[in-house]
Structure 1
Amino acid sequence: MDSLQQMPNIGAVLADRLHRAGVTDADELRRLGAGRAFEKIREGLPKDACTHTLLALEGAIRGTRWTAIPKPERDTLVHRVLG
């Protein structure tokens, strides 16, 4: 299993999307941050999956399930990245 799939919230499908976008490991994801990594994979996502995917990436970087991120922080991230 690659280092991306060892992170919380990242399964095979999201890891594959990240790999195809050039994000090949956990260190690269952390370096980019959730917003920049999300922008790299956004084009291929269904519209209704955008918020959850962005939050999943942020949670992965933090080492926690995305639902554990405080709601005000989730709202700020979503507003900043998705508008």
Structure 2
Amino acid sequence: MDSLQQMPNIGAVLADRLRRGGVEDAGELRRLGAGRAFEKIREDLPEDACTHTLLALEGAIRGTRWTAIPQTERDTLVNRVLG
């Protein structure tokens, strides 16, 4: 099984939120992309966790810590999804 928790940035809590939102595994997360997966769990997130969670999902898809994503790309993603 392609476990969500084997991906960078995804621990037990985020993996559980993703599963409750209908994202069952890493393959589904990759197919959806960070923005669409984030929208599936957004209502379940504390407001102060939104930016970090979105970036964590993008990093997981890329196979890296979210802090390794260049700042300009982070800004673009956050502006596109969170407006």
1:7 Cα deviation after fit: 0.1
1:30-69 alignment, distance < 5 Å: 30-69=30-69
Structure 2: stretches of 5+ with no match in the other structure: none
Letter in 1 for 2:47: K
The runs of 5 or more residues in structure 1 that have no matched partner are none
Which stretches of structure 1, 4 residues or longer, exceed 4 Å deviation after superposition? none
Q: Percent identity?
A: 89
In the superposition, the TM-score normalised over structure 2's length comes to 0.97
With normalisation by structure 1, the TM-score equals 0.97
**Which whole-Å deviations, capped at 9, do the CAs of 1:33-78 have from their partners, x for residues lacking one?**
0000000000010110000000000000000000000000000000
Matches within 5 A, 1:19-34: 19-34=19-34
What is the CA–CA distance in structure 2 between the aligned matches of 1:21 and 1:9, rounded to whole Å? 17
Q: Partners in 1 of 2:27 and 2:2 — Cα distance? A: 12
How many residue pairs align between the two structures? Answer: 83
